[in-house]
Structure 1
Amino acid sequence: MNRARREDAARRIMEQSPPRVPPELYADAVRRGDRMLRRRAVARRAMWLLLCAAVVAFTVWALTVQPWVEPPSETTPPVTGWEGW
């Protein structure tokens, strides 16, 4: 059987009757789809919660440590007794 005849035979088979899905397969697909959607929603909520917790933790750290303030110099000793010059 050559390619054209195989394509014609496949086309005739597909055009004869609409495809039927077994009921148990449909119920399985719906159940899996619902489960997948629920998992995605839970994962999305968890990621938002994690992001918010990270923002709060960073804000608290930044307010307590104040990394933008230059630390006092500890390499030179304080100058004392210079008034007499």
Structure 2
Amino acid sequence: MNLPEREAAVRRLLERTAPVVPPDLYGEAVRRGGRMLRRRRAARRVLWAVLCAAAVVFVIWAVTVHPWVEPPSQTTPPLSDW
């Protein structure tokens, strides 16, 4: 399709009458958009709650287990009765 053909096609599209829009389209779009925003907000809150719970569980585990402390060596027997 060369330039004059494209220009003619665009002119034909612009000269047509606009399609008829259903009268309840705006209300339906607002309702769906509101529902989508509520779902997104709820999902975000649930994810933050799960993240906070995981952080609390990790801190409690780290305080009780002390994973940064090196375990005592079990390879040599204790020295006694010298």
Q: Above 0.5 in TM-score?
A: yes
Is the deviation greater in 3-12 or in 55-64?
Answer: 3-12
Say yes or no: does 1:10 pair with 2:13. Answer: yes
SS at match of 2:27: helix
Shift of 1:5: 3.0
Number of aligned positions between the proteins: 78
The gaps in structure 2 that reach 5 residues or longer are: none
Aligned CA-pair RMSD: 1.9
Moved over 4 A (4+): none
Say yes or no: does 1:28 pair with 2:24. Answer: no
TM-score, length-normalised on structure 2?
Answer: 0.81
Partner of 2:68: 68
The gaps in structure 1 that reach 5 residues or longer are: none
TM-score, length-normalised on structure 1?
Answer: 0.78
Q: Which amino acid aligns with 1:36?
A: M
